[in-house]
Amino acid sequence: MRFYWLRNVPRPRYPGGYTDGRTWFLPGVHCPLCGATGGTTANAYPSVDLSLLPAQEQGKYLARLEEDYAEFERLREQVRPLVPAGAHLWPGTGFGPMNGSAQGEFGPLVLVNPWELLMKPEPLQRLQAEGLRGLKGCRTALRFRKKNPPELLELELLPGGDLHPDCLSERPTPCPKCERIGLKRPEEPILDAATLPGELDVFRLAAFKTMLIGTERFVETVRRLGYEQDIAFRELPVRS
């Protein structure tokens, strides 16, 4: 099986765009153990609905910096039962629908930011009908100024797979306290065969959350159905 890195293209055919925004965030934090500070914007679970929490608690899940590490941990553990099993809860992780402002036209598959994959409903249904696994579409709440805005669904991508130690200067070990991994993405990534998930056709690398990976089945199906316009697929070597 071949694997491909999903990349955005410099001059998309459909030049639609949107600004960052999401309903809730785990706050950023300064980690007393590894010293990292702030939060990521590249990790999100759009299906997670925090409206179940009391309003006062919901109000704490904002894009902000939490000064009190114990409070950060409490907020993190409060939502852990709601996120998919195995999900990372890095500082800055987003929850709920994307809600930035959007403009322009969008193609069937949308990769404005290389770490966020959106689809229109019909292409998503067709890809699911082809038997591709791991395609969970979640509602977005993007704000368009125009009438009859397009419906876009965001894929909730689960972590799976890692890069091979041969392409890394050190092993990606998460900080035991804040779960962050402070490694820079290598120029020439190599996938570690033993870590690749067998049950997902598109997923997010566990340690390099900005990298979305599709299987050969995913890429072939997208190409055959003509959905490739605004996504480039870079094949990555796989090593065992």
The one among 6, 29, 31, 118 contacting Zn ion by CB under 5 A:
31
Q: Which of 29, 38, 33 minimizes the C-alpha distance to 74? A: 29
Stretch that binds Zn ion, among 26-34, 47-55, 77-85, 191-199 (CB under 5 A): 26-34
From residue 233, alpha-carbon distances to 2, 7, 64, 223, 225 in Å are 11, 6, 34, 10, 15
Candidate list 177, 186, 190, 195; residue touching Zn ion; CB under 5 A: 177
Q: How far is the CB of 207 from Zn ion (least distance, A)?
A: 14
178 binds Zn ion (CB under 5 A): yes
Near Zn ion by CB under 5 A: residue from 34, 50, 138, 183: 34
- Per-residue three-class SS string for the chain: CCEEEEEECCCCCCCCEECCCEEEECCEECCCCCCCCCCCCCCEECCCCHHHCCHHHHCCCCCCEECCHHHHHHHHHHHHHHCCCCCCCCCCCEEEEECCEEECCCCCEECCCCCCCEECHHHHHHHHHCCCCCCCEEECCCEECCCCCCCCEEECCCECCCECHHHCCCCCCCCCCCCCCCCCCCCCCCEEHHHCCCCCCEEECCCCCCCEEEEHHHHHHHHHCCCCCCEEEEEECEEC
Q: How many chain residues are in contact with Zn ion, going by CB under 5 A?
A: 6
| Residue 29 is a binding residue for Zn ion (CB under 5 A) | no
Segment lying near Zn ion (by CB under 5 A), choices 13-21, 69-77, 176-184, 208-216: 176-184
Q: How far is the CB of 174 from Zn ion (least distance, A)?
A: 8
Nearer of residues 42 and 200 to Zn ion, judged by Cβ: 42
Stretch that binds Zn ion, among 29-37, 85-93, 108-116, 135-143 (CB under 5 A): 29-37
Q: Which of 63, 175, 183, 238 binds Zn ion (CB under 5 A)?
A: 175
The residue range among 3-11, 108-116, 173-181, 222-230 that interacts with Zn ion, by the rule CB under 5 A, is: 173-181
Instruction: Note whether 167 binds Zn ion by CB under 5 A.
Output: no
Closest distance to Zn ion from the beta carbon of 53 (Å) = 25
Angstrom distance (rounded) from CA 202 to CA 218: 7
Q: Which stretch binds Zn ion (CB under 5 A): 33-41, 47-55, 139-147, 201-209?
A: 33-41
What is the binding site for Zn ion (CB under 5 A)? 31, 33-34, 175, 177-178
